Amino acid sequence: MYVPLLATDFLRHAVQQYGKKTGVVDGDKRFTYAQFGERVHRLSNALIDMGIKKGDRVAVLDTNSHRLLELHFGVPQIGAILLPINIRLSPREITYVLNDSGARCLVINEDMTGLVERDQLKSVERYIILEGDEQKPGSIPGERYEPLLEGSSAIIEDDFGLDEQDPAEMFYTSGTSGNPKGMLLTHRTLWLAATKDLFFGVANDRTVYLQAIPLFHANCWRKAHMITAVGGRHVMLPQFRPALICELIEREKVNYMEMVPTMADTLTQFGDLDKYDLSSLERIVIGGAPLLEGTQNTLMEKFPWCVIHAGYGMSETSSCGTTAHLKEHLRGLPDEQKKVLMRSQGYADMLTRVRIVDGNGNDVKHDGIAMGEIIMRGNTVIDGYWGLPEETKKTIIDGWLYSGDIATMNEDGYITIVDRKKDIIISGGENIGSVEVENVISSHPAVAEVAVVAAPHEKWGETPAAFIVLAENARLTADELIAYCREEGLSGFKIPRIIEFKADLPKGGTGKVLKSELKRSLWK
């Protein structure tokens, strides 16, 4: 029997099986799944009344909120396509995304109206205004969200003829090089991506998930659906503030959260962390960038009772790829070896085929030493970029998506990223992976954050340069750091010749360090 896999399945199941249970918490607002489902239906009917049809793009600019979660279900339910936009993009980039996607409707937090250049928009016809924290009217006229829902029916009378190959959501890369690139995700893609973590048994109806990573970030696309599928509880976090995070973990008994490494560093450096009861936390997953040894050590020190591991995926793979769960037969390894595995990018999940290949497309030896590029294929991998056939040809070759990440694979299938292909430091003909150098530097107790990039060198061509943010009240000199690198066994040619201490590192909207900006400052 063929039954389409639809993104709408998750909420339908949650309403039927967990209707009386609190499913969504957003500040002082709490919704059972039955109430949440009713709001989603009202949203769908409001969009229909506005003239939104199957295939239309509905864009949204908002922080994590129950409204953004409602849009993840209410828009695809009628066959329209949801487009969450990274709120850290510049107005120029946001304008590009709206025009390139052909979005017909923009749902926008009134505090963010300054991000939109209305006179430059070509396709947006309707605006829906979300109430902002500042509670003052924005500069864009439109219909307000809550009155729209109140005036709409809570009953859906059409199945809209949805098929699993219909596009349901659309996302754009963060645009760190050139314009952001768009990609469509089908109902089938979202359905399968949402089930990835269920293979590892990480969520069920007792899961209380803190939505810490923005819902426009690849890490969390699948979480909107996966947590709903199992009847877990979404706890929305509008801003990544350590005090608020700790309050929510304590109050809601949060047991599962995901962060990018810079978020983890910010949380563990919070001076009042020990004042809160965070004992409910059971699992912390790190993604979006490599989990450095220093960050892992600090997390294990602050949350010694938690399972802490990394994972790997891309926007182009719907965040699926590999997960650094510890395989049962490896639990007898020494603790240090287990730590290395759990901060690696992990092994391939059930949905994704993963290989490490050399420049000729041949698999490298699985010895944890030989380096090559990560390539992937699977049901959650995109077919191509929106309107960019040439970019697609560069990225998807012979049915495999080339990631641009250089890594090794060990005999147990665990992958460890060495660097981005474009960021490999070539010094005197030797390849230096920035992640290896960052791991050593991050393990120094005085270091809070570190980024290593290539700097020009007259003799060797390139040499490592380290940009460092010190922990609060910590002191460290360049000479002391160089001596530490030697003591930790880092080869001489890998030790940074340039060391700069900074108050902070430049970051994009998803929390990644913008190494391109750091390199630009060196190569001017």
Q: What is the pLDDT of residue 393?
A: 93
pLDDT at 137: 60
When pLDDT is cut at 50, 70 and 90, the band that residue 451 belongs to is very high
* Average pLDDT rounded to a whole number, residues 468-496: 90
Please give the pLDDT value at position 250: 98
Strand partners, 355: 375
For residues 127 and 105, the answer to whether their CB atoms sit within 8 Å is yes
Mean pLDDT of 390-407: 93
40-54, 89-103, 209-223, 256-270: range with highest mean pLDDT: 40-54
- Range picked from 118-122, 153-157, 363-367, 470-474 for highest mean pLDDT: 363-367
Q: Centre a 10 Å sphere on the Cβ of residue 260 and count the other Cβ atoms it contains.
A: 23
Q: How confident is the model at residue 180 (pLDDT cuts 50, 70, 90)?
A: confident
Q: What integer pLDDT is reported at residue 134 of this predicted model?
A: 63
What average pLDDT score do residues 358-387 get? 94
Contacts of 413 (CB under 8 A, 6+ apart): 347, 348, 366
| Interval 115-165: pLDDT, tens | 898 889 999 999 999 987 665 666 778 899 999 999 999 998 888 899 999
For residue 176, the model assigns a pLDDT of: 53
> Looking at the whole model, is its pTM more than 0.85?
yes
Count of residues making up the chain: 524
Which residues are bridge partners to 245 per DSSP?
none
The answer to whether 322 and 347 are in contact (CB under 8 A) is yes
Of 289 and 45, the structure prediction assigns the larger pLDDT to: 45
Tabulate helix, strand, coil % of the chain (nearest 5).
Answer: 35, 25, 40
Give Rg (Cα) of the chain: 23
Q: Is the confidence at residue 510, as pLDDT, over 70?
A: no
Cβ atoms within 10 A of the Cβ of 379, count?
Answer: 15
Rama region for 78: left / alpha / beta (φ>0; ψ in -120 to 50; rest): alpha
Instruction: Quote the pLDDT of residue 129.
Output: 94
Beta bridge partners of 373: 357, 406
Share above pLDDT 90 across residues of the chain, in percent, rounded to a whole number: 71
Token look-up 């080339």 returns 402
Q: How confident is the model at residue 364 (pLDDT cuts 50, 70, 90)?
A: very high
On the question of pLDDT at 356 being above 70, the answer is yes
436: Cα separation from own chain's centroid? 22
- 140 Cβ contact list (under 8 Å, min separation 6): 108, 110, 113, 116, 118, 127, 129
3-state secondary structure of 486: helix
Residue whose structure tokens are 């008994």 = 253
Q: Which residue has the tokens 């350590």?
A: 242
Spatial distance between the Cα atoms of 62 and 336, rounded to a whole number of angstroms = 41
From start to end of 459-514, where are the E strands? Answer: 461-470, 498-501
pLDDT of residue 337 exceeding 70? yes
Q: What is the three-class DSSP state of 251?
A: helix
pLDDT of residue 426: 81
Q: What per-residue confidence (pLDDT) applies to 175? A: 54
Burial 138-152 (b: 16+ CB within 10 A, else e): bebebeebeebbeeb
**396 vs 261: CA distance, rounded Å:** 28
Q: What pLDDT is recorded for position 514?
A: 85
The domains found in the chain, sorted by start residue, are: 424-523 (3.30.300.30)
Angle at 193 between CA 189 and CA 196, to 5 degrees: 150
pLDDT at 177 over 60: no
Which residues, in sequence order, are bridge partners of residue 169? 82, 185
Per residue in 181-235, pLDDT tens?
999 999 999 999 998 878 877 899 999 999 998 888 776 778 899 999 999 999 9
Q: Would you state the structure tokens that stand for residue 69, as one six-digit string?
A: 């979660």
Q: Which of 15, 318, 316 is nearest to 191 (CA)?
A: 318
